[in-house]
Amino acid sequence: MWCGVSAALWPVRCRSFLLQCRNICSGNVGRKSVVDGVLPSFRSVCGEDGVSLSEAIREQHGKDESVHKCCPPDVVVFPRSVDEVSALAKICHMHCLPIIPFGTGTGLEGGVGAMKGGVCFSLRNMDQVLDLHVEDFDVTVEPGVTRKALNSYLRDTGLWFPVDPGADASLCGMAATSASGTNAVRYGTMRENIMNLEVVLADGTIINTAGKGRRPRKTSAGYNLTNLFVGSEGTLGIITKTTLRLYGIPEAVVSAVCSFPSVQAAVDSTVQILQSGVPIARIEFLDDVMIDACNRFSSLSYPVTPTLFLEFHGSERSLEEQVNTSEEITQCNGGSDFQWAKDEETRSRLWKARHDAWYAALALRPGCKAYATDVCVPLSMLPQIIVETKEDLIANKLTGPIAGHVGDGNFHCLMVLDPNDPDELQRVHLFTERLARRALAMSGTCTGEHGVGLGKRALLVEEMGAQAIQVMQSLKETLDPKNLMNPGKVLPVLCPSQSKI
């Protein structure tokens, strides 16, 4: 829906885009007959049960958890192995059918919409945890394994995979979108924690980005193909295995909450805590609007001011030091009401506000939907961008409580909007564009965690600049000359001969 067209022409272009999308989605007659023709080949690869044309299944595989409209594929296939994925890809390649990889459908940027129809590869039947090496801290998983399933599997080993986006997402899907979570400040994002990928390219070729079965902790060998595919959102290949870096489960955990008189004070504390060498695991920011919503939703009574939620991991002794240092720093910055807890039940209670933030935001306006913006800026810019953003929200009468991974300079405005109010939709759309441009102007990025998907392609061009985009286009054309891999995502279509989506 929001494909980054210029604001003034948005209503006109949007309408024509929607018409175009509807035409494309609801059945290009030529493509449909091609799909019908290949169905027997699909069935011979993944069995009768492995191919679905039913409307319900196709709709389920044409949308994710974003606000983008459902764009169902022509057919959904369920391969059971990388060889089946490769065989299916070869068939699609021969007949020029778009390929859309699908993990758990929990993306937030419309990445699975089949803009040009085609074949959705649902990878959920490839759900094995392979090759766990406890002493080497690595494990290889297939796309059907979600992060919670992996951590359950690992529970007896003392290891865990810490990247934790909100949803229980497929790990290979997280690789494709370069996902991140609340403890990126200590453990990193997917980019830092993937050692190897098995990828099927558009023509069915199977490659291992770091060599088959290889899992050294570091390497200088050749081009970094692994990180080329991380974050490629299905536009360069289908990820069928990922080898992940694991960490030891923390011996002990302490959670803390602290209120601040201003955003500046909260961010200053964050910077100083990081500078003092405290290996803080989570540091989350909630603004006053969000805290107010949380108080109401969860019957809490936090002071209605900018608040930090902190979490520390380590041994019992080191935790004491970490908490004391952090408490001192917050006090120096005017922080108050510093509470902390060690046992599971009290920690959950302290962090309840942060965990329920999404629902608390939705509860502010029952019947509305929510959309999370996602910009990231250098830490020093955070107070300024948050202050300017809040002014923008008030001036445009928008509901947008703010929650953020302040240790990374990444924050989300949870925009609560009435999907049936076109005026509000437009105001939200323009606001998110202004926010993204504000972040870009402060040396930041238009997407910290969620990816580019459908809606941020024009912003990507602004962020990267024409030359870098040109290099990305060249890579795309080299790996996928027929533009079959998840068309219409990440990169804007520049070739005039292809229909402008």
Partner 1 sequence: FQVGLLVSVKRFFLFLFEIRVKPDKSGVVTDGVKHSMNPFCEIAVEEAVKLKEKKLIKEVVAVSCGPQQAQETIRTALAMGADRGIHVQVAGKDYENLGPLQVSKIMAALAKKEEAQLVILGKQAIDDDCNQTGQMTAALLDWPQGTFASEVSFEGDKLKVVREIDGGLETITINTPAVVTADLRLNTPRYATLPNIMKAKKKKIAIMKPEDLGVDITSRVEVLRVDEPPQREAGVKVETVQDLVGKLKDSGLV
Residue ranges that bind partner 1, judged by CB under 8 A: 129, 149, 152-153, 155-160, 248-251, 315, 344
Whole-number Å distance between alpha carbons of 280 and 270: 10
Residue 250 contacts residue 314 (beta carbons within 8 Å): yes
CA distances from 308 to 260, 354, 380, 426 (A): 8, 10, 17, 32
Shorter beta-carbon distance to partner 1: residue 127 or 356: 127
- Locus of tokens 């074949």: 119
Query: Smallest gap, in angstroms, from Cβ of residue 154 to partner 1?
Result: 9
CA distances from 380 to 307, 406, 407, 444 (A): 18, 11, 11, 11
- 491 alpha-carbon distance from chain centroid: 17
Shorter beta-carbon distance to partner 1: residue 316 or 391: 316
- What ranges in 168-287 are assigned the alpha helix state H? 171-177, 184-187, 190-193, 225-229, 263-275
Residue 207 contacts residue 167 (beta carbons within 8 Å): no
Shorter beta-carbon distance to partner 1: residue 253 or 393: 253
Residue 230 contacts residue 236 (beta carbons within 8 Å): no
Shorter beta-carbon distance to partner 1: residue 150 or 256: 150
Shorter beta-carbon distance to partner 1: residue 129 or 363: 129
Query: Smallest gap, in angstroms, from Cβ of residue 344 to partner 1?
Result: 5
Structure-block tokens of residue 308: 């930090």
Shorter beta-carbon distance to partner 1: residue 192 or 316: 316
Query: Smallest gap, in angstroms, from Cβ of residue 345 to partner 1?
Result: 8
Shorter beta-carbon distance to partner 1: residue 139 or 446: 139
Query: Smallest gap, in angstroms, from Cβ of residue 348 to partner 1?
Result: 9
Helix (H) or strand (E) holding 472: helix 466-479
Query: Smallest gap, in angstroms, from Cβ of residue 484 to partner 1?
Result: 33
Query: Smallest gap, in angstroms, from Cβ of residue 74 to partner 1?
Result: 22
- 239 alpha-carbon distance from chain centroid: 16
Query: Smallest gap, in angstroms, from Cβ of residue 156 to partner 1?
Result: 5
Q: Within 13 Å and on the Cβ side, how many CA atoms surround 419?
A: 12
